Amino acid sequence: MARELEKRDWHPFLDRVSKGLSGKQAEIEVASAKLGDQIEAEWVPLIGLVYDPKSDVVEVALEGLDHMIHKPQKLFVEEEAGRLLSLEVIDAEGTRQIMQFKDPLMLAAPGR
């Protein structure tokens, strides 16, 4: 079951996640009422995830693609037994950006 992260926790959480990304692949699905469901990237090597509070942008860096989510409103994480299964970011227009990971990411402990 997914849980919502507080906005103040986005930057440290995504920094932690980025540390466990070596060689992992991700798929990004974008879902909105206007466009329907579309696959933005399908099993592409993931380079990193970051939230920049100054510009209010979540960046998903993939090999050959930077997926930018402007004015994110909510961030949900789905974890199981210390593994990150998926992330969902909802932007100001209600568009859902869902990132799934081919091999669930082991999360580093906070503060590492």
pLDDT in tens, 72-82: 999 999 988 87
Residue 13 lies in a domain: yes
Measured distance CA(70)–CA(81) in Å, rounded:
31
- What pLDDT, on the 0 to 100 scale, is given for residue 110? 65
State the pTM of this model. 0.86
Measured distance CA(30)–CA(38) in Å, rounded:
5
What is the 8-class DSSP label of residue 9? G
Q: How many domains does the chain have?
A: 1
Q: What is the CATH number of the domain that holds 40?
A: 2.70.180
Residue 36 lies in a domain: yes
- What pLDDT, on the 0 to 100 scale, is given for residue 24? 87
Measuring CA to CA, how many Å separate 82 from each of 92, 103, 110?
A: 30, 13, 12
- What pLDDT, on the 0 to 100 scale, is given for residue 83? 80
What is the extent of the structural domain holding 58?
Answer: 2-106
Residue 112 lies in a domain: no
Measured distance CA(57)–CA(51) in Å, rounded:
6
Q: Give the whole-number percent of the chain exceeding pLDDT 70.
A: 90
Residue 6: pLDDT above 60? yes
**Which residues on neighbouring strands pair with residue 36, listed in sequence order?**
32
- What pLDDT, on the 0 to 100 scale, is given for residue 55? 96
Residue 96 lies in a domain: yes
Residue 40 lies in a domain: yes
Residue 43 lies in a domain: yes
